[in-house]
Amino acid sequence: MRYEKITPIVIQSVSMKVTPVVLCGGSGSRLWPLSRSGFPKQFLVLSGSESLFQQTLRRILPVESPEFQLSTPLIVTNEEHRFLALEQFRELDCGEAVFLLEPEGRNTAPALTLAALQAVEDGQDSLLVVMPADQTIKNDQAFLESLQKCLSAAQNGDILTMGVKPTRPETGFGYIKRVANSIGKYGEYVVETFTEKPNLELAKLYMDGGDHAWNSGIFVVKASKWLQLLQVFRPDIKKAADLAWQSRVIDQKFIRPSKDLFGQIPSESIDYAVMEKCPGSEFGVRMVPLDAGWNDLGAWESVWLTADKDASGNVTQGDTFVVNTENSLVFASSRLVSLVGVRDLVVVETPDAVLVAHRESSQEVKKVVQNLESDGKRYEHLLHRKVQRPWGWYDSLEEADNFKVKRILVNAGASLSLQKHAHRAEHWIVVRGVAEVTCGDKRFTLVQNQSTYIPVGELHRLTNTGNTPLEMIEVQSGTYLGEDDIVRVEDNYGRVQAEGDAP
């Protein structure tokens, strides 16, 4: 994707901190098999060269003003995805960020509460710009203009949200109804009601009536205001979140609330917990229209709707070839995928799974993921064949009874944990680069075409001491080859406590 220069937005207001809050939890199961719980949709590159998470952050960075301070972004993500988020943020080369780690998913209201508690830590009351990381916006300049209106209007204490003019009777989105003729100083409207995902008949009425907008899920609210509203409408969430926050642990760039206490927070969305309760109460909610090519990428149908299409209405990515095919979406990851004489299909290929679905049934892909979860012996809903790790990645090439073959890449200067396995031995062969190997009380170097053997139960470690990537082939042999057969003794990435995790 080529990024055009965006004109910075100047906020004409009193000096105030503005803090981006990026919510990037969730699993994105409707975009399976590309999105998986170990690598969910917000970290996927669905178009261009940057992930949805990276696009979300980049969207707000041009905001600037001598009267107004853009504060360090707060990124709320799952503990499991911390290194994905950290690496993708590093690739943006846009300064620092604070990462708030959820031990488990508890929906968006607890996630926003963590951000609000962090934002008031220094005694200042920052305006939070709350943005889900799984959306696409085609016109960033138009987004910034709507954001300017939200920021200006939010300083009096109201919650501001962005409402998108419907372009179709969509049943997968929430809706906002505005009070007619209630336009304010900054082009904002008073919100009358919020409605969750209506049926098709209602969605058509909402679209034709002109007073309803899609709920973008983007909010602007003072940190203290959110905490006040939560205390009024959901004091149980507020109390439980406070307790988890008070027991937090700060680990370099990561802030971790108490795992046990966080798990006791009721799971609830921002809309259900607070937003839907505000209209008609003493607390104001206002909506600024957003006309910027917004879409929530909740299913493959949405991806098709927002993507650039060929003359036959097809969206293709990767090594694809289509003949006499119309209005279809084709993603190929590792091989040639061809479609002939079909229409309205979604075909998504990955090295270990292929999805074929009618485009209009793409919301039902979640049922495939649910079946894989309930099976108990399948892993295709959890991880891709190629798995990212903080030190690099591994690709599981082949597996059968008593053996598994992996291709491993270790980044320059990176190191795996000092670890051992109870059920498997490993054979390492260096393909390129230089490997420093620790095996028991021995430490030695391997170069291209050299190999070594790691016995069952032996403490071992692999380190890339060179300036270029280290690539190896690993052959595992044993009675059990699961990724949870690992005990870490030392680790550069804070995973010693996580016995039973994948490497």
CA angle (182, 186, 188) in 5-degree steps:
40
* CATH code: domain of residue 460: 2.60.120.10
502 contacts 387 by C-beta, under 8 angstroms: yes
* pLDDT for the residue 65: 60
Q: Which helix (H) or strand (E) holds 237?
A: helix 235-246
How far is 3 from 26, CA to CA, in rounded Å? 27
Enumerate residues 6+ apart whose C-beta is below 8 A from 372: 378, 380, 381
Q: Which of 241, 270, 296 is the C-terminal boundary of a domain?
A: 296
Query: Is 68 inside a domain boundary?
Result: yes
Q: Are residues 237 and 309 in the same domain?
A: no
Helix, coil or strand: residue 113: helix
pLDDT computed for residue 350 by the predictor: 97
Give the range of the structural domain holding residue 249, as residue numbers without chain letter: 17-296
Same domain, 272 and 352: no
> Rounded to an integer, what distance in angstroms lies between the CA atom of residue 289 and that of residue 300?
26
Residue 10: strand, helix, or coil: coil
Do 358 and 254 sit in the same domain of this protein? no
Q: Mark whether 433 and 482 lie in a shared domain.
A: yes
One domain, residues 270 and 312: no
pLDDT given for residue 10 in this prediction: 46
Supply the DSSP symbol for 455: -
409, two tokens: 């890449």
pTM for this one? 0.89
Cβ–Cβ under 8 Å, residues 235 and 74: no
Domain count, the chain: 3
Distance CA 72, CA 215 (A): 26
Q: Which residues contact 424 (CB under 8 A, 6 or more apart)?
A: 456, 476, 477, 478, 479, 480, 481, 485
Same domain flag for 253 and 212: yes
Helix, strand or coil, per DSSP, at residue 270: helix
User: Which residue among 365, 394, 418 closes a domain?
Assistant: 365
Same domain for 311 and 433, yes or no, is no
Is 250 in the same domain as 309? no
pLDDT of residue 3: 42
Q: Do 23 and 162 sit in the same domain of this protein? A: yes
Residue 376 in domain: no
DSSP assignment, residue 65? B
Per-residue pLDDT of the chain (503 residues; tens, 9 = 90+): 444 444 555 444 456 789 999 999 888 899 999 999 999 999 999 888 899 999 999 998 876 665 568 889 999 999 999 999 999 999 999 889 999 999 999 999 999 999 999 999 877 789 999 999 999 999 999 999 999 899 989 988 889 999 999 999 988 899 999 998 888 899 999 999 999 888 999 999 998 888 999 999 999 999 999 999 999 999 999 999 999 999 999 987 899 999 999 999 999 999 999 999 999 899 989 999 999 999 998 899 999 999 999 999 999 999 999 999 999 999 999 999 999 999 999 999 999 999 999 999 998 999 999 999 999 888 899 999 999 999 999 999 999 999 999 999 999 999 999 999 999 999 999 999 999 999 999 999 999 999 999 999 999 999 999 999 999 999 999 999 988 899 999 998 877 744 444 44
* Pair (427, 399) in one structural domain: yes
Q: Beta-strand (E) ranges in 423-459? A: 424-432, 435-439, 442-446, 451-454
Sign of dihedral through CA atoms 339, 343, 349, 352? negative
Query: Does residue 327 share a domain with residue 204?
Result: no
**Both 133 and 53 in a single domain?**
yes
**Residue ending a domain, choose from 296, 323, 338:** 296
pLDDT at 11: 47
Pair type for strands 127-132 and 17-23: parallel
